[in-house]
Structure 1
Amino acid sequence: MKQARHLLVSGKVQGVGFRYFAQMTAVDHGVTGWTKNLENGSVAIHAEGTPEQLNSFGESLKKGNHFAKVHQIEEGAADLQSFSSFRIKY
C-alpha cells in the first residue's frame, strides 16, 4: 500500500548537491515525489512509496552525501498524489 510523507531536512543541505542526492536515492528506493530548497536553508521533500521504501529512503537521507550534513529530518503525513517520478523543483 502506497503512502505519502512530507520530510523537512535541516542542516548543511543547500549548495552541496543534496537535492540531486535525494533524487538519486529516491530512484534507488523506488520512491516518487519531489524535493525543493526552502528560503530558510532547509530542503522539503514529498515522498511516495510503500512503508518499506519510505523507511529505507529516510535512513539513506539521514546519512546524506559526502558534502551534506543532515542535522534533523522532520517527518509528517502527506496526501498521496501518485507521482510517476521523483523530480527536483526550482
Structure 2
Amino acid sequence: MIRRRVVVSGDVQGVYFRDTCRTTAADTGAAGWVRNRPDGTVEAVFEGPPEAVERMVAWSHEGSRLSIVDRVEVVEEEPEGLTGFEIRPTPWRG
C-alpha cells in the first residue's frame, strides 16, 4: 500500500474534476478523497496498491474532460488505511 497527496492547479473547479476523480478511483481500486480548495486548486489523496495510486496520479495530470490542468504537485505520505473514496467539502476560508 502507498499514499500520495496531489494538488492540481489550472481550470479544475466547476468542470466535474472531483466527480470524475471519484468514479475513476472506484474503477482503479484506489481509496481516498478529493476536495476543492479556496485558492482554486483541487487537492486529493490516493491510497492503495501502487498500480492503482500511480494510475490516479497520472490521471490527475489530465483530469476530467472539461478541465485544463496546468500543474500537479505530488507528495508521498504514509498510508492511513483508508477505504472507499469520497468528495470532501471545501475547507472554510479563515
Q: What is the TM-score when the length of structure 1 is the normalising length?
A: 0.91
Residue deviations 1:35-75, cap 9 Å, x none?
01101100010110122111111222222222111111100
What is the root-mean-square deviation in Å for CA atoms of aligned residues? 1.0
The superposition leaves residues 3-59 of structure 1 with CA deviations (integer Å, 9 ceiling, x where unpaired) of 111111111110111110111111111000100110110001011012211111122
Find runs of 4+ consecutive structure 1 residues off by over 3 angstroms.
none
For 1:29 and 1:15, the matched residues in 2 are separated by 23
Point out where structure 2 has 5 or more consecutive residues left out of the alignment.
90-94
- Give the corresponding residue for 2:56: 57
Q: Which moved more, 1:63-72 or 1:39-48?
A: 63-72
Q: Would you say how many aligned residue pairs link Structure 1 and Structure 2? A: 89
The separation in 2 between residues aligned to 1:56 and 1:24, in whole angstroms, is 13
Cα distance in 1, alignment partners of residues 12 and 39 from structure 2: 11
Q: Which amino acid aligns with 1:19?
A: R
The secondary structure found in structure 2 opposite 1:83 is coil
CA shift, 1:77, in A, is 1.2
Number of the residue aligned with 2:16: 17
Say which is worse superposed, 34-43 or 71-80, in terms of deviation: 71-80
- Read off the aligned partner of 1:83 and give its amino acid letter: L
1:27 aligns to what? 26
State the TM-score, normalized to the length of structure 2: 0.88
State the SS of the aligned residue for 2:25.
Answer: helix
Q: CA deviation at 1:83?
A: 1.4
Q: Which residue of 2 is the match for residue 36 of structure 1? A: 35
- Residues 1:69 and 2:68 aligned together: yes
Give 5+ residue unaligned stretches, structure 1.
Answer: none
